[in-house]
Structure 1
Amino acid sequence: MKPIHVLLAGGLSRRFGEPKAFAMWENKPFYQWCKQAMGGKVVILSHSELLDRFKNNGEVSVIEDIDPFKGKGPLAGIYTAMERQDGDCYVVLACDMPLIRQNTITALKKSMSLETDAVVIVANGQVQPLVAVYHKRLKPVLYEQLCQNELKLSDFLARIRVTYIHAETIGAKASEFFNINEKSDLEKIKGGL
C-alpha cells in the first residue's frame, strides 16, 4: 500500500499561546521532530495564517483545508489530504508530539492491512486517533461526517473498522504520545515526564 504521510499542524493552539508547530524542543520546532519520525515525504496540513511561515522554513508540501471544511479540525485535515494526495493509506500525526519516534510510526504502518479501515495507537489507556493510519476507502465516511458537522474523532472511529494497537506491543514508550498543550508541558518533557 502506498502511504501518504500527513502532519496535522492547523490547530489554533489557544492554551499554548502560540502555534505549537513552531514551538522549540531541543533546538528544533515540534513539527520537524514529527516530520522526522514519519520518514519519507510529508504533507503538512495547516491554516492560512501559517502557510507562509512553513514555506519560509523551506517546506514545499503545505496545504490548507479545502472549502467548505476550513476550520473543521482534524477530520477536515485528513479528508483534505485524501482529496489532494493520491495514496492507499494516510499516516496521520499531530504536530504536538515531539517525542514520537520513527520506529513507532514504522511499526504502526506495518500493522495496516486491507482488512481494516484504520490502525490507531492506544497509549496510557487512551486512544490516540492522531497517531494512526487511515485507509483511503474512508474518504466518503469523512465527507458525510463533515457535511453533517459531526467533528468528533470518537464518532468517526465508532463508524469504521479499527485495529487498536497498544503502544507497548510495538515497543513504543508511553512518553512518545504526550501531547504538548500548555507551556508548562515543556517542563514536563524536559524533566522526563
Structure 2
Amino acid sequence: MTGIILAGGDSKRMGKNKALLDLCGKPLIEWVFENIKQVTDEVIIVTDKPHLYENIPAKKISDKISCEGKNPLVGIYSGLCVSNSRYNIAVACDMPFISISLARAMFEEANKGQHEVVVPHIDGHLEPLCAVYHRETRFLIEDWLKRGKFKIPDIYEHFKTKFLSEKFCLNYDPELYSFLNLNYPSDFDKAKEICKERAKKL
C-alpha cells in the first residue's frame, strides 16, 4: 500500500504554503506523513517544490501531465504512475488528523471487494482527497486528463467504486476530523484548538 500526499497547490485562500504551516510545533505535511506512513509501505509527495520537504523521508515527484493551474486529479495520477502498490490512499497535505484506523479500514474495503476506488461520502459530499485508488485507474485517468476533464467525482462511475457511508467512517473516526482540510486561517485556528485538546488527553 502506498500513500500519495498532494502538496502542489497554491494555497491562495490561506495566503501562504499550507504544507509548511506550524501546527503545535510541526509542519502540517509532517502530521499527514506520520499518520499515513503507519498504514503504507511507501509514501510519495507530489510537489513542484521538492526542496521544501527534504527532511521528509518520502519519494518526491512532480506532475506527470501539465495543465493550467494546479489540479488534484493530476496529482493523484502522477502518484499512481510511480507507485509500487496496487492500492494507494491519496490525501491532501492540509489534512493533519487523518485517522490511522480509518485509512486501514479503507484499504481493507478496497482489497476484500476488489474495488478500484474507495471514497468516503460525508455530510452529502464526496471526499476524493482522502480516498483509495487502485494503481490501474491511472490509465483511464490519463485519458480523462488528456481530454481536458479534471473533476475527480466524475470519474467514479467509470470504476468499480465503493462509497463509504458517514456511519461507516464514524466507527473509525468518531469526530470525522480526518476530513478537516485547512483552506482558510479560521480552519487553521480550529486545527490548533483540536491539537491542544488532544494534547491535554495524553
Paired residues for 1:3-82 under 5 Å: 3-39=1-37, 40=40, 41-47=42-48, 50-55=49-54, 57-68=55-66, 71-82=69-80
Q: Which amino acid aligns with 2:72?
A: P
Q: How does 1:112-127 map to 2 (within 5 A)?
A: 112-113=110-111, 115-127=114-126
Contact (CA 8 Å) 2:20, 2:29: kept in 1 or not? yes
List gaps (5 residues or longer) in structure 2.
195-202
Deviation by residue 1:120-165 (Cα, 9 ceiling, x = unmatched): 1122332101111111221111011110110011212232221011
Separation of aligned partners in 1, 2:68 and 2:56: 24
When residues 124 and 71 of structure 1 are mapped into structure 2, their CA distance, relative to the original with a 3 A threshold, is: same
Instruction: Report the secondary structure of 1:90's partner residue.
Output: strand
3-state SS of 2:159 partner: coil
Which 5+ residue runs of structure 1 have no aligned equivalent?
none
Q: Deviations over 1:27-74 (max 9, x none)?
A: 111111111111243111112xx211111x244511111244585511
How far apart, in 1, do the equivalents of 2:140 and 2:110 lie? 19
Looking at structure 2, the residues matched to 152 and 139 of structure 1 have their Cα atoms a distance apart, in angstroms, of 15
1:101-180 maps to which residues of 2 (within 5 A)?
101-113=99-111, 115-169=114-168, 170-172=171-173, 173-180=175-182
The aligned length equals: 188
* AA aligned opposite 1:27: G
Q: Is the 8 A contact 1:124 1:174 kept in 2?
A: no
Answer whether contact 1:20 1:96 (CA < 8 A) is retained: yes
Report the Cα distance in structure 2 between the residues aligned to 1:104 and 1:116, rounded to whole angstroms: 17
Q: What residue identity is the alignment partner of 1:46?
A: T
CA distance in 2, matches of 1:58, 1:93: 16
